[in-house]
Structure 1
Amino acid sequence: MRKKKKAASFSWFKLFLKLFLSVILLLFLFVGSIYVGLWGKLPSKEQLATLTQSKASIIFDRNKEVLGKVYVFDREPITYDQLPKHLIEALVSTEDTRYYEHNGVDEKSLLRVIFKTILLQQKSAGGGSTITQQLAKNAYGRKDFGRFGIVVNKIREIFIARRMEEVYSKEDILTKYLNTVPFPDNTYGIGSASRKFFNKKVSDLNLTEAATLIGSLKANYYYNPRLFPAQSKARRNTVLKQMVSYGTLSPDRAKIASLQPLVLDYQHLTDEQASAAYFREQVRLKAIKILDSIEKSTDQEYNLYHDGLKIYTTLDKTMQGIAEDVTKNHLAKLQGEFEQAYGNNAPWIVDKALRMKILKRSAVYKNLKNAGWNDTEIMDSLQQKRLMNLFSHQGDLVKEASIIDSIVDQAKLLHSGTLITDQFGAVRTWIGGVNFETFQYDHVAQSKRQVGSVFKPIVYTAALESGIDPCSYFPVRKYEYEEGWVPSNSSETKDPYLNISMKKALSRSVNTVAVQVFKETGLENVQELAYAMGIESTLPNVSSLALGTAELGILELSKAYSTYINKGKPATPYFIVRIETSDGTVLADFKPKTTKEEVISQTTRKVIIDMLQETVNKGTAKRLRTTYNLTNALAGKTGTTQNNKDAWFVGITPKLVAITWVGLDNYEIGFSSTAIGQGAYAALPVFGETYKELTQRKEYRSLTKVPFEQLTEKEQELVDCPDDKRDGLLKRLFTNPEKTKKYKKKKKGFLGLFGKKSEED
Structure 2
Amino acid sequence: MPKKIKNKYLKLGLKVLAVVGALLLLFILSIYLGAWGKIPTKETLGNFKYQRASEVYSADSVLIGKYFLFDRQPIEYTQIPQNLIEALVAIEDERFYDHSGIDYKSLLRVAFKTILMQDRSSGGGSTISQQLAKNLYPREKSGKLHLAISKLKEMIIASRLEELYSKEEIITLYLNTVSFGDNTFGIESASLKFFNKPAQLLSLEESATLVGMLKATYSYNPRIFPKKSFNRRNLVLNSMKANNYLTGQELDSIIAIPLQLDYRTYDHNEGVAPYFREEVRKQLLTWVKEERKKGKEYNLYTSGLKIYTTLDSKMQLLAEEAMKQHMKKLQNDFEKSYGARAPWIKDKKLIKKTIQNSSTYNKWISAGLSKKQAIDSMSVKKEILLGGWDQEKIQSASTIDSLIHYLKFLNTGSLSLDPNTGAVKTWIGGINYKYFKYDHISQSQRQLGSAFKPIVYTAALENGISPCTYFSAQEVEYENMEGWSPSNSGKKNEAYLNYSMEEALSNSVNTVAVKVLEKTGIPNVIEQARKMGIRSPMPQLPSLALGTAEIRINELAGAYASYLNNGRPVTPYLIESITNEKDSILVTFKPKQATRRAFSEENAAIMIELMKATVNSGTAARLRSTYGLKNDIAGKTGTTQNNKDAWFVALTPKLLNISWVGLDNHEIGFNSTRLGQGANAALPLFGIWMQKLNADKSFNHITQARFKSPSSNVRSKLNCDPVKRDGFFKRLFKNPNKKKTRDFRTGKNKT
SS at structure 1 position matched to 2:660 = strand
> Does 2:629 match 1:633?
no
In 2, the alpha carbon distance for the partners of 1:693 and 1:244 equals: 49
Counterpart in the other structure of 2:308: 312
In 2, the alpha carbon distance for the partners of 1:663 and 1:115 equals: 71
Counterpart in the other structure of 2:10: none
Q: State the 1:354 CA deviation.
A: 2.4
Return 520-529 or 389-398, whichever deviates more.
389-398
- The residue correspondences of 1:13-412 to structure 2 (distance < 5 A) are 31=31, 34=34, 42-45=40-43, 47-84=44-81, 87-96=84-93, 99-105=96-102, 129-140=126-137, 157-203=154-200, 205-206=202-203, 208-236=205-233, 239=236, 261-268=258-265, 270-297=267-294, 299-372=295-368, 382-383=378-379, 388-397=384-393, 399-412=395-408
**What one-letter code is carried by the residue in structure 1 that aligns with 2:332?**
G
Cα 1:547/1:152, change in 2 over 3 Å: farther
Q: Is the CA contact (8 Å cut-off) linking 2:181 and 2:217 kept in structure 1?
A: yes
**What one-letter code is carried by the residue in structure 2 that aligns with 1:77?**
P
Q: State the 1:473 CA deviation.
A: 1.8
In 2, the alpha carbon distance for the partners of 1:725 and 1:336 equals: 42
Once the two structures are superposed, residues 574-617 of structure 1 have per-residue CA deviations (whole angstroms, 9 ceiling, x without a partner) of 12222223433222122221111112122222222221111112
SS at structure 1 position matched to 2:34 = helix
Cα 1:616/1:204, change in 2 over 3 Å: closer
In 1, the alpha carbon distance for the partners of 2:363 and 2:249 equals: 60
Return 87-96 or 645-654, whichever deviates more.
87-96
Counterpart in the other structure of 2:9: none
Return 571-580 or 79-88, whichever deviates more.
79-88
Cα 1:348/1:148, change in 2 over 3 Å: farther
Return 557-566 or 306-315, whichever deviates more.
306-315
In 1, the alpha carbon distance for the partners of 2:465 and 2:23 equals: 98
Q: State the 1:338 CA deviation.
A: 0.7
Counterpart in the other structure of 1:753: none
In 2, the alpha carbon distance for the partners of 1:89 and 1:709 equals: 62
Cα 1:84/1:626, change in 2 over 3 Å: closer
Q: Is the CA contact (8 Å cut-off) linking 2:741 and 2:749 kept in structure 1?
A: no
> Does 2:419 match 1:419?
no
In 2, the alpha carbon distance for the partners of 1:496 and 1:212 equals: 76
Q: State the 1:223 CA deviation.
A: 2.3
Cα 1:614/1:89, change in 2 over 3 Å: closer
Q: Is the CA contact (8 Å cut-off) linking 2:65 and 2:266 kept in structure 1?
A: no
Counterpart in the other structure of 1:483: 481
Q: Is the CA contact (8 Å cut-off) linking 1:116 and 1:125 kept in structure 2?
A: yes
**What one-letter code is carried by the residue in structure 2 that aligns with 1:515?**
V
- The residue correspondences of 1:741-760 to structure 2 (distance < 5 A) are 741-744=740-743
Counterpart in the other structure of 2:576: 577
Scaled by the length of structure 2, the TM-score of the pair is: 0.86
Return 329-338 or 301-310, whichever deviates more.
301-310
SS at structure 1 position matched to 2:563 = coil
SS at structure 2 position matched to 1:638 = strand
**What one-letter code is carried by the residue in structure 2 that aligns with 1:340?**
K
SS at structure 2 position matched to 1:31 = helix
Which of 453, 458, 461 is the matching residue for 1:461?
458
Q: Is the CA contact (8 Å cut-off) linking 1:387 and 1:401 kept in structure 2?
A: yes
Cα 1:760/1:230, change in 2 over 3 Å: same
In 1, the alpha carbon distance for the partners of 2:490 and 2:88 equals: 74
Once the two structures are superposed, residues 80-129 of structure 1 have per-residue CA deviations (whole angstroms, 9 ceiling, x without a partner) of 45545554354345444554454334568889999999xxxxx9998765
**What one-letter code is carried by the residue in structure 1 that aligns with 2:559?**
A
Q: State the 1:658 CA deviation.
A: 0.7
**What one-letter code is carried by the residue in structure 2 that aligns with 1:576?**
I
Once the two structures are superposed, residues 385-428 of structure 1 have per-residue CA deviations (whole angstroms, 9 ceiling, x without a partner) of 55554322234345554444333222111111111111221111
- The residue correspondences of 1:729-744 to structure 2 (distance < 5 A) are 731-732=730-731, 735-744=734-743
Cα 1:240/1:401, change in 2 over 3 Å: farther
Cα 1:222/1:590, change in 2 over 3 Å: same
Q: State the 1:626 CA deviation.
A: 1.4
SS at structure 2 position matched to 1:568 = coil
Cα 1:320/1:167, change in 2 over 3 Å: same
Q: Is the CA contact (8 Å cut-off) linking 2:463 and 2:520 kept in structure 1?
A: yes
Cα 1:359/1:43, change in 2 over 3 Å: farther
In 1, the alpha carbon distance for the partners of 2:542 and 2:158 equals: 75
**What one-letter code is carried by the residue in structure 2 that aligns with 1:408?**
I
Q: Is the CA contact (8 Å cut-off) linking 2:66 and 2:266 kept in structure 1?
A: no
Once the two structures are superposed, residues 63-88 of structure 1 have per-residue CA deviations (whole angstroms, 9 ceiling, x without a partner) of 33333333333334344455455543
Q: State the 1:640 CA deviation.
A: 0.7
**What one-letter code is carried by the residue in structure 2 that aligns with 1:34?**
G
Q: Is the CA contact (8 Å cut-off) linking 1:489 and 1:510 kept in structure 2?
A: yes
Q: State the 1:633 CA deviation.
A: 2.0
Q: State the 1:535 CA deviation.
A: 0.9
In 2, the alpha carbon distance for the partners of 1:241 and 1:429 equals: 48
Q: State the 1:507 CA deviation.
A: 1.2
Scaled by the length of structure 1, the TM-score of the pair is: 0.85
**What one-letter code is carried by the residue in structure 1 that aligns with 2:306?**
K
Counterpart in the other structure of 2:4: none
Return 667-676 or 738-747, whichever deviates more.
738-747
**What one-letter code is carried by the residue in structure 2 that aligns with 1:290?**
W
Identity of aligned residues (%): 48
Q: Is the CA contact (8 Å cut-off) linking 1:475 and 1:498 kept in structure 2?
A: yes
Q: State the 1:637 CA deviation.
A: 0.6
Q: Is the CA contact (8 Å cut-off) linking 1:34 and 1:152 kept in structure 2?
A: no
Once the two structures are superposed, residues 527-576 of structure 1 have per-residue CA deviations (whole angstroms, 9 ceiling, x without a partner) of 12212211121112322121111111001000110111111111111122
In 2, the alpha carbon distance for the partners of 1:146 and 1:528 equals: 74
Counterpart in the other structure of 1:603: 602
**What one-letter code is carried by the residue in structure 1 that aligns with 2:662?**
G
In 2, the alpha carbon distance for the partners of 1:270 and 1:365 equals: 29
- The residue correspondences of 1:703-722 to structure 2 (distance < 5 A) are 703-722=702-721
**What one-letter code is carried by the residue in structure 1 that aligns with 2:468?**
C
Counterpart in the other structure of 1:7: none
Counterpart in the other structure of 1:3: none
**What one-letter code is carried by the residue in structure 1 that aligns with 2:416?**
I
In 1, the alpha carbon distance for the partners of 2:558 and 2:307 equals: 23
Q: State the 1:294 CA deviation.
A: 4.0
Cα 1:247/1:316, change in 2 over 3 Å: closer
SS at structure 2 position matched to 1:567 = coil
